[in-house]
Amino acid sequence: MSATTDNKRLTTRDIHALRRSGEKIAMLTAYDHVTAALVDQAGVEIILVGDSLGNVVLGYETTLPVTLDDMIRHAGAVYRGTTRAMVVCDLPFGTAKDPETALGSAIAVLQQTGCQAVKIEGGGAAAPIVARLVEQGIPVMAHIGLTPQAVHQLGGYYRHGKDAPAAQELIAAARELQKAGAFAIVLEFIVPEVAAEITQMLDIPTIGIGSGPDCAGQVLVINDLIGLNVGPVPGFAKPKADVAGIIRQAVGEYVAEVKAHPKEPSIG
């Protein structure tokens, strides 16, 4: 039975049940109360409060300036807007640099927001951090491939796993992160064939973004899905609406109505 038919708050057990059944997992980002409520009502299983809020909401060029306080504020708003979806919060740049720092950050997120899990970027080197959090009862979603927090080290945004050594590194990292206790792994902008191999190899769900159709689930930035952008949309995103156009039209009509209103008579 699909988890989407149940009104209770979804947990890692429900997400694993979807994986075992072969039903695809739908995940989207949200950064505010109203958007989260609408996404929740539409039946998404996982809502990610991503540090992509730095780009999407706060206007930064990268995710690096996003702070833990930023994440806690937005994650709390998202959680309060939901009743059913599992809510996962990113640990932003510098807040998961070692196991103890990550543990403190994750505890703050769970205590202050209500979120059920955190997401940590990084390959096999992040496995000890994942293990430390899981040891303390904190569910962790891992994230490999294109990891935006490492954009300067990576040298930009590009597809990962193009050659055999790179593919094997990703496969090994996925295996280590599963062993460390991650309940799911985001595969971002990875060669689809490599993402498919990782998905087939693992017992836990893979959540793809720009990594082909064979992952156990998919995630998109909500603004890319609904066309609420002022800049270019990633090539792998196919907007289902033009919310930006609707807003521009509505505001334009409002401005025209205000300008057309008769002037108030002068006094004196």
Question: For the chain, which domains are there?
Answer: 3-242 (3.20.20.60)
Say what the pLDDT of residue 3 is. Answer: 45
In sequence order, the 6+-apart residues with CB closer than 8 A to the CB of 128 are 99, 180
Residue with more model confidence, 228 or 262: 228
Which of 231-240's residues contact partners 24+ apart within 8 Å by CB, and which partners?
Answer: 234/210, 235/210, 236/189, 236/209, 236/210
The distance in angstroms from the start CA to the end CA of the chain is: 75
Residue with more model confidence, 191 or 151: 191
pLDDT of 38 over the 50 cut: yes
Rounded (10°) angle between helices 192-201 and 164-180:
30
Catalytic hit among 188, 197, 253, 257? 188
Q: Provide the Cα torsion 211, 16, 100, 147; round to 10°.
A: 10
Say what the pLDDT of residue 5 is. Answer: 46
Mean of pLDDT values over 160-169: 94
pLDDT of 81 over the 90 cut: yes
In sequence order, the 6+-apart residues with CB closer than 8 A to the CB of 167 are 161, 191, 194, 197
pLDDT band at 171 (very low <50, low <70, confident <90, very high): very high
188 assigned to active site = yes
Mean of pLDDT values over 233-244: 90
User: Could you tell me the CA-to-CA distances from 192 to 173, 188, 211, 238 in Å, in that order?
Assistant: 16, 10, 5, 17
Q: What is the pTM of this model?
A: 0.93
Say what the pLDDT of residue 267 is. Answer: 67
Mean of pLDDT values over 200-206: 98
Residue with more model confidence, 168 or 232: 168
Cα(163)–Cα(167) distance, integer angstroms: 6
Mean of pLDDT values over 7-28: 96
Considering only 84-98, 151-165, 171-185, 244-258, which range has the smallest mean pLDDT?
A: 151-165
Cα(129)–Cα(137) distance, integer angstroms: 13
pLDDT of 1 over the 50 cut: no
Take residue 165 and report the two structure tokens written for it.
């050594």
pLDDT of 202 over the 50 cut: yes
CB atoms within 10 A of CB 207: 28
Say what the pLDDT of residue 157 is. Answer: 72
Say what the pLDDT of residue 237 is. Answer: 87
Residue 45 pairs in a beta bridge with none
CB 75 within 8 Å of CB 35: no
Q: What is the DSSP letter of 262?
A: P
